[in-house]
Amino acid sequence: MILSIKMTVFDLFKFFRNAGSCFFYFLLMISCQSADRPHTTWSVYRGDKGSTGYSALDQINKTNLDQLEVAWIYHTGDAREGNRSTIQCNPIVVNGIMYVTSPQLKLIALNPTTGKKIWEFNPFINEEATGVNRGVTWWSDGNDKRIFFSAGAYLYALNADDGSLVSAFGTNGKVDLRKGLGRDPVKLAVWATSPGIIYKDLLIQGTALGEGYDSAPGFVRAYHVRTGKIVWTFRTIPQPGEFGFDTWDKEAYKEAGGTNAWAGMSVDEEKGTVFIPLGSPAFDFYGGNRKGENLFGNCLVALDAETGLRKWHYQLVHHDLWDYDLPAPPTLVTLNNGQKKTEAVAQVTKMGMVFLFDRMTGKPLFPIEERPVATSDLKGEETWPTQPFPVRPAPFVRQSFSENDVTDISDSANAFVKEKIKNARMGSIFTAPDTAGVVQFPGTRGGAEWGGASFDPETGVLYVNANEIPLLIKMKAVSLSDSDALISHGEKIYSLNNCTMCHGANRSGTAVFPSLQNLAEKLSAVQAAAILKTGKGQMPAYPNITDEDKKALLDFLFDKKEIKSVTTKGPASVEKKYRYVHNGWTTLTDKQGYPGVKPPWGTLNAIDLNKGEILWQVTLGEYAELTKKGIPVTGTQNLGGAVVTAGGLVIIAATYDGKLRVFDKQTGKLLWAYQLPAGGYATPATYMSNGKQYIVIAAGGGGKVGSPSGDAYIAFRLKEH
């Protein structure tokens, strides 16, 4: 008998059963039970290679959340004091093991049922741990099972069963991410925060970079999973003769940096396409030395995953001056507009926009308009005259700021913020940075951030959490010549290497990053020099600083007077005299530290992608002390993404108040909440183990949100009966 290829699995069951073929029926049952059904495992960062953040599991659902309890808690034991560390890891569970990373970037294998440690790998033995990590990558071929993991400047390959280094990969199990960029690797600051993605026997990897004027280029590399050799490179800053080269100054490619894929990526394995979201060119807030549109900065790029050749691209910000990186992996979606199904890709942005493209052609599914924007007053700057705005869906955050938008939680807060911004420029999104100060809204924290979006294939609805927190950005000119020196050489090094972004122009620090004033009371010059060399915590190493520059910088930091100013070298193509730096990522707040704009300050949004409409928006997060005063729930800054499930749930932590919340995916109604021991600034995962569905979240606190640090992974399941 010949079987029709249209027969379902159920039809096959009936056929074998009715035919009396018990043996074959048994084999088929075993095969189906062992095979991974779509969206029922969590073996890839954000759930699957399409970055959907969706799970078809429904054992935990709207009817039984009252039965949800803590199944286990695992403490990594390496949180830093205060708010100086965090956990951003989205765990994966594969082959009966959960893989997580710790605040100081140890890679740990856990039993997903009990939370007990199986093995641990520490890449920083006798070294200072630096950076953050959002997840790891699994690959296997028969008995060869590997975990790929980034820490510092290296990409490691580990045996997934026992945590030992795979010696055949790279040099003794690791490759140097600084190599292969066409510049001296010793002088580059390169690392990776988000995991790479697998296509066949390739690991496609993006990187994070410094954001100063001398940053590394953000080229995307594909490494062979067995050997660690680079198979292809996509140069995100085009070289002479390459497509897009004419969108920059002719000499910019030699020294321009940034345009990197720090947020992760997605793969359509069937079509052999990798979708890569790229960041802004460096320096983030001034582009006088990189005139033009600056491809492939701020582009969504579709590449042939096997060769690295470009299929299509779309630039979502031209000549970026606002640090509006594409902040999250694009989400692969299937839409149903009437009778037609369209395979598409959705990209959420810091600007609070959703861009939708046909996955094959790159054609927008809803119109995108190029609208005029304001120009810059900074010397040498040439803003691009227009920026792209999707007509649908509407933005999921506000995109302008005026005095009418100043916080109204109290009269004193309102007056304090108005005084703070009285000389600053305000207006619509894409208002150019200025020396008088600009209220940037949305700020660099979004809109959307690296937590990204989740997509429900049952309904065509996209879920994305967002921040609505303005920044107050103020630019300062830095002279490049001795004859017209504005500041000392040490302060130039401090400014041009973007120390100001974290520690402030006056070294006063922020709620998140420490003050460098009176540094001699905290560190010796030797200790400070060591930190510059190796990095510490969230601060990367700065190997590009010469000995002469390092001495000048330390003299400045330790308040030693310099006899003369020394010229700081800059690219020949600069406007010859000036660079601009800014005062740091300074959040516009009231005197108590609350955001200086009217609430909401954090939201969760449901967007129907078929219609291009926002279905609902709810506040996300709470300041209990404000609620007690009678102020409606405001929402808070949030970092980390959501999971949507077939059980009717949207599961998210992310908020400053440190709660894990579950919402009704249809209505946005809050159904359940749990107080974590520290902020859950990560994306949850959900998985099955021994017949039980679990939800797990990292509770690491700290980081850029600034709450106390933690070291816990917490898993939940339904109560045993």
Confidence label for 493 from pLDDT (cuts 50, 70 and 90): low
Q: Provide the pLDDT for residue 333.
A: 98
Q: Provide the pLDDT for residue 666.
A: 98
CB 128 within 8 A of CB 187: no
CB 433 within 8 A of CB 286: yes
Closest Cα to residue 190, out of 487, 544, 481?
544
Lowest mean pLDDT among 16-20, 473-477, 484-488, 534-538: 16-20
* Type of residue found at 303: L
Checking if the pLDDT of 292 tops 80, the result is yes
Closest Cα to residue 192, out of 250, 235, 146, 130?
130
Confidence label for 37 from pLDDT (cuts 50, 70 and 90): confident
Checking if the pLDDT of 565 tops 60, the result is no
Q: Provide the pLDDT for residue 562.
A: 53
Q: Provide the pLDDT for residue 414.
A: 98
* Type of residue found at 503: H
**DSSP H or E run through 85:** none
CB 610 within 8 A of CB 335: yes
Tens of pLDDT, residue by residue over 640-660, are 999 999 999 999 999 999 999
Checking if the pLDDT of 139 tops 50, the result is yes
Q: Provide the pLDDT for residue 373.
A: 97
CB atoms within 10 A of CB 261: 30
N-term to C-term CA, the chain: 48
- Kindly report whether the global pTM for this prediction surpasses the value 0.85: yes
Tens of pLDDT, residue by residue over 535-551, are 666 666 666 666 777 77
Closest Cα to residue 283, out of 221, 209, 343?
209
HEC letters along 571-628: CCCCCCCEEEEECCCCECECCCCCECECCCCEEEEEEECCCCEEEEEEECCCCHHHHH
Tens of pLDDT, residue by residue over 355-374, are 999 999 999 999 999 999 99
Give the Cα separation of 502 and 556 in Å (integer): 17
Tens of pLDDT, residue by residue over 395-429, are 999 999 999 999 999 999 999 999 999 999 999 99
Report the topology of domain 481-569.
Cytochrome Bc1 Complex; Chain D, domain 2 (1.10.760)
Q: Provide the pLDDT for residue 84.
A: 83
Q: Provide the pLDDT for residue 73.
A: 98
Kindly write down the DSSP assignment for every residue of 261-309, as one continuous string.
Answer: --S--EEETTTTEEEEE--PEESSS--TTS-S--TTTTEEEEEETTT--
Rounded to an integer, the average pLDDT of 301-314 is 98
Q: Provide the pLDDT for residue 497.
A: 59
CB 320 within 8 A of CB 349: no
Largest CA distance in the chain: 96
HEC letters along 5-39: CCCCHHHHHHHHHHCCCHHHHHHHHHHHHHCCCCC
Kindly write down the DSSP assignment for every residue of 665-692, as one continuous string.
Answer: TTT--EEEEEE-SS---S--EEEEETTE
| Order of strands, sheet of 310-315, starting from the edge strand that comes earlier in the sequence | 266-268, 273-277, 299-304, 310-315
State the average pLDDT for the chain.
89
Please compute, for residue 117, the number of CA atoms within 13 A of its CA located in the half-sphere on the CB side. 15
Please identify which residue in the block is written with the tokens 């980390």: 640
Checking if the pLDDT of 685 tops 90, the result is yes
CB atoms within 10 A of CB 381: 22
Domain extents in the chain:
1-35, 54-474+589-718, 481-569
CB 278 within 8 A of CB 206: no
CB 602 within 8 A of CB 468: yes
Three-state DSSP class for residue 370:
strand
Which has more confidence, 290 or 13? 290
Three-state DSSP class for residue 334:
strand
Give the Cα separation of 333 and 356 in Å (integer): 9
Please identify which residue in the block is written with the tokens 């660099």: 444
Please compute, for residue 702, the number of CA atoms within 13 A of its CA located in the half-sphere on the CB side. 28
Confidence label for 36 from pLDDT (cuts 50, 70 and 90): low
Tens of pLDDT, residue by residue over 208-246, are 998 888 899 999 999 999 999 999 999 999 999 999 999
Rounded to an integer, the average pLDDT of 517-523 is 75
Q: Provide the pLDDT for residue 130.
A: 86
**Long-range contacts formed by 501-505: CB under 8 A, 24+ apart:** 501/211, 501/582, 501/584, 501/585, 502/539, 502/584, 502/585, 503/584, 504/583, 504/584, 504/586, 505/474, 505/476, 505/581, 505/582, 505/583, 505/584
Distances in whole angstroms, Cα of residue 549 to Cα of each of 135, 488, 544 = 36, 11, 10
Tens of pLDDT, residue by residue over 670-683, are 999 999 999 999 99
Confidence label for 268 from pLDDT (cuts 50, 70 and 90): very high
Closest Cα to residue 699, out of 220, 99, 74?
74
Report the topology of domain 54-474+589-718.
Methanol Dehydrogenase; Chain A (2.140.10)
Q: Which two tokens stand for residue 536?
A: 């510490």
Lowest mean pLDDT among 93-107, 624-638, 695-709: 695-709
Give me the helix-helix angle, 547-557 and 525-534, nearest 10°. 130
Q: Provide the pLDDT for residue 17.
A: 40
Please identify which residue in the block is written with the tokens 């296997």: 140
Checking if the pLDDT of 686 tops 80, the result is yes
